Structure 1
Amino acid sequence: MVVIAIIALLAGLLFPAAQSGLVAARRAACASNLRQIGLALTLYANDHQGAFPCTTHGLPMSQADQAWVYTLAPYLADVDEVRLSPGDPKYAERLANHASSYVMNEYVTVPVYGFSSVIEDYTNRRHLPAPSETFVAFIGSDSLPAHVTADHTHSRGWAGSWQFLLADIQPDRFRTGGANDLRTAGSANYLFADGHVETIRGEDLYNRWQQNPDFARPPSS
């Protein structure tokens, strides 16, 4: 009985450590994917007068092959490896359906048109005043369909509700315990326009959203 108790105690100590190590490894692999995507975005922008690639926003299903991740394929060593985040519960589905775990920020891919002209446009990397503070790509929400057209956020609407944000992205992708309703009990990786990747705790992102619900909008300076 003593031996069994010791084994149970050791298992109780080792399992959380092993789980934490697995989460850390997945988070690091995901960050590597995003850094490769960031480099591909830079190379693409250099070849296209600073423009970011388009998403499938507003396109018919017949043009799903225009998803940004496939536009970047010539700039990536292995698009099928890079487009999927380790730990994505829909990994197999997204792999089979040519979808991606990552979604592009609507602000940097979709301009806003007025009656006769563009009234808001952040789609050119060269025109961003603060690339190091501009969110470009996020880890997509678990609720998104495993389809190639689920390749972008609707971040202009995030100011309306935290739930609108959670419909697009997953702030707690990497966690060691259970999820809470706000999805803040973990962390996620974020790609910025200058190519760097940050790991941000879900709680910190929620606080950022409370202070500035429109934080996904590129800063003016």
Structure 2
Amino acid sequence: MFSPENSELGKSLLRGRAFSLVEMVVVMGILLTLGALIFPLGSRMLEMSRSAKCLSNLRQIGVAAAGYIADNDGTLVPRCSNSSPAIGNAKGFRAYLAPYLGGDKAAIRVFACPSDKTASKRQDYGDALNTGLTPASYGITSIYYYGINGESLPYPGFHAYAPTSEASYPASFKITAVKKPASTIFVSDIGRPDSVTAPLKNWTESTYKLTSANFGYAGTPSNWTSGDWAMYPRHAGGKINVLFYDGHAATLDLQKDLVDHPFGDPQCLYDNF
């Protein structure tokens, strides 16, 4: 019986299909090189997609805040309802805005940045919006004015704790108090850096867990504290996404755009002067 393996033609064809060891090494080298090129590109594309979704979240928060302001005679959303917040008895700004985002479950999704791995894990909605539990990917900029520019507005700036009667908000809680809405940050990415003295690229968040609570603030570079909530470079390259008071969202370089321009600097993006 004819067998291609036993014929000279068959042997020739089989030899033609085989790879030598050198050829296999070359092919594997090419594949590894392509993988090394493609994998980082894929990771960058994925992060770009996450950052774009994060910016979309911030814009939705801006629309919700505009609705709250319109319904409350120009009053800005309070950071928290209680001057001594504790798990279970305080209402954070996320809960105030939830009705304008389609309800609690929809709001939970909006308040979770896709690059925030901890916040994105939450499946049990429960009462997270009211208790301040994660998702806490975003916080209102804490504008501290104690001894700064001669001002002494309530802590922390425009979004202090809600007064006993919400009808008694002072003028500093009104949108008209924001002098530069297009260049003053309202909401930003937040995190819990283990050490604020470490280079931004080396920041870690070992204390940030699903049980962590944040009642709405984002500490600014002028008052960062290790282990506390702060504006955080959540996105690749030390980038942070922010929402301005005029409703537009943007990606900033945390070092160049914020750290390098502290209170008193004309280019400071969280100083209302």
TM normalised by structure 1 equals: 0.77
Amino acid at match of 1:4: M
What is aligned with 2:141?
105
Please state how far the C-alpha of 1:58 moved relative to its aligned partner: 2.7
Please state how far the C-alpha of 1:216 moved relative to its aligned partner: 5.8
Please state how far the C-alpha of 1:172 moved relative to its aligned partner: 1.9
In terms of mean alpha carbon deviation, does 102-111 or 140-149 score higher?
Answer: 140-149
In terms of mean alpha carbon deviation, does 26-35 or 67-76 score higher?
Answer: 67-76
From the superposition, tell whether residues 207 and 95 of structure 1 become closer, same or farther in structure 2 (CA, over 3 Å).
farther
Please state how far the C-alpha of 1:50 moved relative to its aligned partner: 1.2
Query: Is contact 1:67–1:148 with CA below 8 Å preserved after alignment?
Result: no
Task: Could you list the structure 1 runs, at least 4 aligned residues long, displaced by more than 3 angstroms after superposition.
Answer: 92-97, 142-149, 209-218
SS at match of 2:139: strand
Cα deviation code 1:18-56 (max 9, x no counterpart): 111011001000000000000100110010011122223
Please state how far the C-alpha of 1:151 moved relative to its aligned partner: 3.0
CA distance in 2, matches of 1:13, 1:158: 36
CA distance in 1, matches of 2:76, 2:116: 25
Please state how far the C-alpha of 1:213 moved relative to its aligned partner: 11
What is aligned with 1:73?
98
What is aligned with 2:11?
none
1:171-210 equivalences in 2 (<5 Å): 171-175=232-236, 185-204=237-256, 205-209=258-262
Please state how far the C-alpha of 1:59 moved relative to its aligned partner: 2.8
In terms of mean alpha carbon deviation, does 201-210 or 37-46 score higher?
Answer: 201-210
Identity of aligned residues (%): 23
From the superposition, tell whether residues 201 and 159 of structure 1 become closer, same or farther in structure 2 (CA, over 3 Å).
closer
SS at match of 1:61: coil
Structure 1: which 5+ runs fail to align? 114-119, 176-184
Structure 2: which 5+ runs fail to align? 1-24, 129-133, 143-156, 164-169, 193-204
Tell me, yes or no, if structure 1 residue 44 matches structure 2 residue 72.
Answer: no
Cα deviation code 1:83-109 (max 9, x no counterpart): 100110212455546222111123221
Amino acid at match of 2:92: A
Give aligned pairs, total: 202
What is aligned with 1:179?
none
CA distance in 2, matches of 1:206, 1:108: 21
CA distance in 2, matches of 1:48, 1:149: 27
Tell me, yes or no, if structure 1 residue 62 matches structure 2 residue 88.
Answer: yes
When the two chains are superposed, the root-mean-square deviation of aligned CA atoms in Å is 3.2
CA distance in 2, matches of 1:59, 1:140: 19
Which structure shows the higher helix fraction? 1
Rg larger in structure: 2
From the superposition, tell whether residues 4 and 122 of structure 1 become closer, same or farther in structure 2 (CA, over 3 Å).
farther
SS at match of 1:190: strand
From the superposition, tell whether residues 49 and 166 of structure 1 become closer, same or farther in structure 2 (CA, over 3 Å).
farther
